Structure 1
């Protein structure tokens, strides 16, 4: 049994050696090994596209963020909206930083253009209708600025001397109404409200006087009728957004001072 199994064992070993030995390459395989792989062509194309992408990114870094729309936020190049009147799509906005700085100087005084960074200055005057909101808009800043204006206007009403009031009259039982110095100013809010002191029309007139209407970035629905497109609301939003931006940049005290000196005094409060 041992002598008969030895030839079978050697035959099995020889078969295993043949299986482990690599096959000799044919002529076609040798030609494929000698020819340059196709991967080099694709790598060269990817290198060129990567180089173009790097150049585009470098150009965008050089340009300020407010001056262009990000490439990835652009659509396919067409719009599904059907325009009934193509003339209403024609509208131009201010792109001159010097014109914007001049408005800030008229609103905030000397060196008013240096109160906020350049990006925030443009953001505060950008409505969400401009460029479909892809460059940012001032809605959140305006909400914050509206609260600051309402608070400061309420304080102004309470500290402003009111008309002389008559002495309280006793009732038939001889009782006299309770009075306290801390509650004396609260009664002034019964006759005047913050929206009466700083109304939308007054704020819009102030915005027009300082040139805010010429630098706001928005897209009116009807270019031939700006008032009907909401110009008053747009001006109020931008003015309040500037207040909110100043508060976030320099603190509540600086924003309150701007409201008292640059806004309430001008609207006749």
Structure 2
């Protein structure tokens, strides 16, 4: 949800005048074109989240036994790290509430991934 809200607030890419194609648009709907499956998938890609988790040192505290110790990629390290970030956000939300979780997602996850 926070990713969608951040994409909604993100500046729109400059395209040729689309007002003729779309007609006049309500200003409240300006960022709606930013929210696409592709944009969300690109932002929350498991590899990007895994790199972020590694930067925070999460890999050192996760209790996980890889299938192939010599090849973590084929064992699914990216998916494990991405889901670990999701689990941490869920735990913060349960313990501290939605406002704190929202702030953490914005400052610690989305901002380093390039969304404000």
Give the TM bin, normalised by the shorter chain. Answer: 0.7 to 0.9
Q: CA RMSD in A?
A: 2.1
Which residue of 35, 40, 59 corresponds with 1:189? 35
For structure 2, which runs of at least 5 residues remain unmatched after alignment? Answer: none
Partner deviation per Cα, 1:86-140 (whole Å, 9 max, x = no partner): xxxxxxxxxxxxxxxxxxxxxxxxxxxxxxxxxxxxxxxxxxxxxxxxxxxxxxx
For structure 1, which runs of at least 5 residues remain unmatched after alignment? Answer: 1-150, 171-175
Cα distance, 1:268–1:185 mapped onto 2, change above 3 Å: closer
- 2:13 matched to 1:163? yes
Partner deviation per Cα, 1:241-261 (whole Å, 9 max, x = no partner): 100000000111110100000
Partner deviation per Cα, 1:128-179 (whole Å, 9 max, x = no partner): xxxxxxxxxxxxxxxxxxxxxxx00100011112134515228xxxxx8242
Moved more, 182-191 or 237-246: 182-191
List aligned pairs for 1:105-120, cutoff 5 A. none
Alignment partner, residue 198 of structure 1: 44
Which residue of 106, 112, 116 corresponds with 1:260? 106
Distance in 2 separating the partners of 1:159 and 1:268: 13
Alignment partner, residue 76 of structure 1: none
Distance in 1 separating the partners of 2:39 and 2:50: 18
TM-score of the superposed pair, with normalisation by structure 1: 0.39
- 2:38 matched to 1:154? no
Q: Give aligned pairs, total.
A: 114
Distance in 2 separating the partners of 1:191 and 1:223: 33
Structure 1 contact 157–192 (Cα < 8 Å) conserved:
no
Cα distance, 1:190–1:203 mapped onto 2, change above 3 Å: closer
TM-score of the superposed pair, with normalisation by structure 2: 0.85
Cα distance, 1:246–1:265 mapped onto 2, change above 3 Å: same
Structure 1 contact 204–232 (Cα < 8 Å) conserved:
yes
Larger radius of gyration: 1
Greater relative contact order (Cα < 8 A, sep 6+): 2
Distance in 2 separating the partners of 1:258 and 1:225: 32
Name the SS of the counterpart of 1:256 in structure 2.
helix
